[in-house]
Amino acid sequence: MLRVFVLVFPVFILAGCGQPGDGEQVRFVFPDGDPTAGRTAFTEMQCYACHAVEGDDFPDPHASPPVPVALGPEVASMDRGYLAESIISPSHRIPEDMEGIRHEELSRMGDYSEAMTVRQLIDIVAYLESLAGR
């Protein structure tokens, strides 16, 4: 329960900051993270068990059936918000043409909202962004 609070509380704080007025919109700006700490969190969460990472030395994924989402330059070029959403709410948007990532109507990835901190999320996104040069 505490991890959910840690993950969601900053969103409520940010939502209350700078209330829009006169047609102005409040925009969430995803903070910069530490790619090295992100790789550490990626390892601790054992994300490599399902996701291959181009140019890194993780063990081969062993998910069955294999997950067709390899992490590399293509993922690195995605918007930070999209990457974060894909991690904390993987069932939100599942492309119809992506076989092997669904279990019924949900993503096989599962729910990480109680398994990681906001800092880990920010750093994992930074790690994924760092894959751009590979």
Output phi, psi for 64, to 5 deg: -130, 120
Q: Which tokens belong to 71? A: 């992490």
Q: Are 126 and 41 in contact (CB under 8 A)?
A: no
Q: What confidence score (pLDDT) does residue 115 get? A: 87
Q: What confidence score (pLDDT) does residue 96 get? A: 60
Q: Are 35 and 129 in contact (CB under 8 A)?
A: yes
CATH superfamily of the 2-133 domain: Cytochrome c-like domain (1.10.760.10)
Q: Domain locations in the chain?
A: 2-133
Q: Between the CA of residue 29 and those of 15, 33, 75, what are the distances in Å? A: 11, 12, 19
Mark residue 35 as left, alpha or beta (left: phi above 0; alpha: psi -120 to 50; beta: remaining): alpha
In tens, the pLDDT along 50-63 reads 899 988 999 989 98
Q: Are 71 and 51 in contact (CB under 8 A)?
A: yes
In tens, the pLDDT along 31-55 reads 999 999 999 999 999 999 989 998 8
Residues in the chain with pLDDT values less than 50: 2, 4-6, 9, 12-13
Q: What confidence score (pLDDT) does residue 86 get? A: 85
Q: What confidence score (pLDDT) does residue 120 get? A: 97
